[in-house]
Amino acid sequence: MKKQLTLILFLVTIVLIVPFKNNSIKAQEVKPDPVGWQLGGVLPAIAYDSDKGFRYGALANIYNYGNPSVYPFYKHSIYVEWSHTTKGSDIKQLKYDTEYLIPGVRFTGLARLETEKAMDFYGFNGYESIYNSDFAGDSELEDHKSRMYYRMGFRSLRLKADFQGKIIGKKLRWYGGLAHYNIKVSSVDLEAMNEGKEPEDQIRDVLSLYDEYVRDGIIPADQAEGGYTNLIKFGLVADTRDNEPNPNSGIWTEMCLVTAPGFIGNENAYTAFVLTHRQYFTLVPKYLTFAYRLNYQTTLSGSAPWYMLTFKPDTYVSWDGLGGNKTLRGIMRNRVVGEGAVLGNFELRWKFLNKKIGGRELYLALSPFMDAAKITKQYANQPNMSGDDDGLHLTYGAGIHIALNQNFIVAVDYGFAKDKRDGTSGLYIGLDFLF
């Protein structure tokens, strides 16, 4: 815990210093609202995730607020990231969001290449699959198997183009999109991980849970090494938020059909339904907001490949499984995986400090939260290995958010898992509110 608190203080210091380091304009010379292109922030090595480790590299968010300014909204947003983590995750990503490229249509484009040397894999259907911390724990324990027992190699290329257009102003919109996923899965490369290590420090060469699932046919042989999936998405979006990066009132509800039909090259055709509702309440103007998100996703026809079950489609971002920093803060990443699931996130956002520094608006917000999820449709090939039915996966914790000009937000969240079958706790440092 002491090491994690030291890390938080170090990263917060970087966040506060970097955006102002080269600001030579005096506060009284800066216009109240930013205009034109503005660099929201360049962050070298300031992310941390208990599941992925310390992230180093560089990321930047660039906004165009127009002239005259449309602040706190923006005309164009460009997000660029090239980073690596101490647990072997490598990300190269470019994201572009605008309502001004195509008249009357909001366009969001994403290109993301991610490689993970040791991605979390705990089986399917929540508590029906067994998690035993001793299997991947201290090597002197009798039940120890390998530090990589609950891990696999995973590489994903994601390309997407999403479009939204007005039906009733911005409050009700149609939604459509195309996405391509190219997934490669393998056993963990133990030879590479053990290179240069003393024999007593090397990882044991035993079958991982992924290897056992392939051997036993729980993961079908023709899907064992991954594959590609082409998706078509269409639906409706209701949006009355007062401010997208940090809403204080309104709703944001999405209903979407996601289909991977055979006629565009998919070997495993399926259709899924996704419903996400977010709502924001101002409890004390300018200071206190309550926000919650409810999500339901299930396959309607066919069966999604097992390696696609961890991706949760969204009109703005794609979540990587239930568990971890974007869904269940404090629960192990990808712990809750099935053909269908429900998710709920609930948090208070208290802005206890709000002022201008160097001509830029800065606020700090404290956010206690609770997250919960449950499998609603099981992955058919998973036998009940534990003898227990899946139940409610619950976490609780708190976060702190540091916002510059309202759009650039650094988040620090710490969550605790209520049930030891989901792990213990997690620390996450990144960008933006959860929703």
Between 25 and 148, residue with greater pLDDT: 148
97-122 average pLDDT score: 93
Banded model confidence at residue 60, pLDDT cuts 50, 70, 90: confident
Predicted pLDDT of residue 97:
93
Q: What's the number of domains the chain is made of?
A: 1
CB 60 within 8 A of CB 38: no
Please write the tens of the pLDDT for every residue from 238-250.
999 998 777 999 9
**Whole-angstrom distance, CA of residue 105 vs CA of residue 83:** 31
Predicted pLDDT of residue 349:
95
CB 331 within 8 A of CB 428: no
348-375 average pLDDT score: 90
Residue 173 predicted with pLDDT over 50: yes
Averaged confidence pLDDT in the chain = 87
Burial, 53: exposed, middle or buried (Cβ in 10 Å; 0-12, 13-18, 19+)?
middle
**Whole-angstrom distance, CA of residue 3 vs CA of residue 130:** 30
Banded model confidence at residue 18, pLDDT cuts 50, 70, 90: very low
Predicted pLDDT of residue 86:
83
Per-residue exposure over 393-405, b if at least 16 CB sit within 10 Å of its own CB, e if not: bbbbbbbbbbbbb
Banded model confidence at residue 378, pLDDT cuts 50, 70, 90: very high
Query: Nearest to residue 406, comparing CAs of 351, 362, 344, 342?
Result: 362
Percentage of the chain lying above the pLDDT 90 cut: 62
Predicted pLDDT of residue 43:
63
What residues does 312 pair with on adjacent strands? 319
Q: Of the ranges 76-85, 189-198, 208-217, 404-413, which is most confident?
A: 208-217
Domain containing residue 14: 2-431
**Whole-angstrom distance, CA of residue 251 vs CA of residue 274:** 17
Please write the tens of the pLDDT for every residue from 409-429.
889 999 999 999 999 999 998
Banded model confidence at residue 56, pLDDT cuts 50, 70, 90: confident
**Whole-angstrom distance, CA of residue 259 vs CA of residue 310:** 16
Range in 140-144, 168-172, 371-375 the model is least confident about? 140-144
Pairing relationship of beta strands 89-102 and 76-85 according to DSSP bridges = antiparallel
Q: How many other CB atoms are found less than 10 A from the CB of residue 147?
A: 19
Q: How many other CB atoms are found less than 10 A from the CB of residue 102?
A: 11
Range in 16-25, 57-66, 426-435 the model is least confident about? 16-25
Task: State which amino acid sits at residue 278.
Answer: R
Residue 10 predicted with pLDDT over 60: no
Banded model confidence at residue 355, pLDDT cuts 50, 70, 90: confident
Banded model confidence at residue 24, pLDDT cuts 50, 70, 90: very low
Please write the tens of the pLDDT for every residue from 122-146.
999 999 999 998 888 766 666 678 8
- How many angstroms separate the most distant Cα atoms in the chain? 69
CB 234 within 8 A of CB 164: no
Banded model confidence at residue 28, pLDDT cuts 50, 70, 90: very low
Q: Of the ranges 9-18, 68-77, 275-284, 356-365, which is most confident?
A: 275-284
Banded model confidence at residue 42, pLDDT cuts 50, 70, 90: low
Rounded to a whole number of angstroms, the CA Rg of the chain reads 22
For residue 119, the domain's CATH number is 2.40.160.50
- Locate 105 and state its tokens: 């249509």
Predicted pLDDT of residue 140:
63
> Residue 169: left if φ>0, alpha if ψ -120 to 50, beta else—which one?
left
Query: Nearest to residue 431, comparing CAs of 56, 25, 61?
Result: 61
Please write the tens of the pLDDT for every residue from 293-331.
999 999 999 999 999 998 877 666 666 779 998 899 999
